[in-house]
């Protein structure tokens, strides 16, 4: 198993994702479970780790060009503004995505906004969901507790700096922004409402 910092062993972290592994990594706001976007089995493992109902999809962390290619029926400038402010944006998509990231033709996206995420997402978009048990427990941010709890359940752990607050989630249709959850950087939404 890989245990490293986000500024080291990025190639090994990418290798884990391409071999069908599950990775714990700093998703800027909090730590997340992640897998390659199109890896069905690895993403099923994440549902089991979280004890999460499969009707609640994960978000996708990707590079800007990938998100812009997928999003449909949105004001692109508004979408980019929200993404660059570390806001999770739910949009209609022009492609069919796996059930574990899509609900009723929509997908939640976050921008790869750290050097680590940018390098990972240069190779493949990844799924992301907070490290906690679904249904109320707070996401874990303590590295020692994460290691203790998940050392035998995942294929790699990458530690780094996180904000410690979940992301704000919005729904964007055309130019209309609807807040679904307030979190990190929620005040930035006021600038586009």
> What is the DSSP pairing of strand 88-93 with strand 169-173?
parallel
Cα(15)–Cα(23) distance, integer angstroms: 11
> What is the DSSP pairing of strand 156-159 with strand 23-26?
parallel
For 15, the token pair is 């290798």
Q: Are the beta carbons of 106 and 89 closer than 8 angstroms?
A: no
Instruction: Spell out, as residue ranges, where the chain has pLDDT lower than 50.
Output: none
Cα(43)–Cα(48) distance, integer angstroms: 9
Give first-to-last CA distance, the chain, whole Å: 45
Q: Are the beta carbons of 26 and 162 closer than 8 angstroms?
A: yes
Instruction: Please tell me the predicted confidence (pLDDT) of residue 129.
Output: 94
Mean pLDDT (the chain) is 92
Q: Is the dihedral of CA 99, 65, 42, 141 positive or negative?
A: negative
2-191: CATH, from 3.90.870.10, 1.10.540.10, 3.20.20.70, 3.40.50.10860 = 3.90.870.10
Tens digit of each residue's pLDDT (9 = 90 or more) over 82-125: 999 999 999 999 989 999 999 999 999 999 999 999 999 999 99
Q: Give percent helix, percent strand, percent coil of the chain, each to the nearest 5.
A: 30, 30, 40
Neighbour count for residue 69 (Cβ, 10 Å): 12
Instruction: Please tell me the predicted confidence (pLDDT) of residue 10.
Output: 87
Instruction: Please tell me the predicted confidence (pLDDT) of residue 114.
Output: 92
Instruction: Please tell me the predicted confidence (pLDDT) of residue 1.
Output: 81
Instruction: Please tell me the predicted confidence (pLDDT) of residue 5.
Output: 86
Instruction: Please tell me the predicted confidence (pLDDT) of residue 93.
Output: 96
Instruction: Please tell me the predicted confidence (pLDDT) of residue 8.
Output: 84
Instruction: Please tell me the predicted confidence (pLDDT) of residue 36.
Output: 97
For 192, the token pair is 């586009």
Cα(17)–Cα(34) distance, integer angstroms: 8
């Amino acid at each position: 198993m890989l245990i490293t910092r986000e500024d080291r062993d990025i190639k090994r972290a990418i290798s884990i994702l391409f071999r069908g592994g599950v990775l714990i990594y700093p998703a800027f706001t909090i730590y997340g479970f992640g897998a390659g976007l199109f890896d069905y089995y690895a993403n099923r493992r994440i549902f089991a780790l979280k004890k999460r109902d499969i009707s609640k999809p994960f978000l996708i962390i990707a590079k800007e060009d990938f998100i812009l290619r997928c999003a449909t029926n949105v004001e692109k400038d508004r979408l980019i503004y929200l993404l660059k402010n570390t806001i999770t944006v739910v949009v209609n998509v022009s492609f069919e995505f796996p059930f574990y990231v899509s609900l009723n033709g929509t997908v939640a996206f976050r921008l790869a906004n750290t050097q680590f995420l940018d390098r990972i997402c240069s190779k493949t978009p990844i799924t992301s969901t907070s490290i906690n048990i679904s249904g109320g427990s707070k996401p874990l941010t303590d590295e020692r507790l994460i290691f203790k709890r998940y050392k035998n359940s995942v294929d790699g752990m990458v530690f780094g700096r996180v904000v410690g607050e979940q992301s704000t989630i919005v729904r964007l249709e055309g130019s209309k922004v609807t807040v679904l959850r307030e979190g990190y950087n929620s005040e930035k939404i006021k600038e586009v409402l």
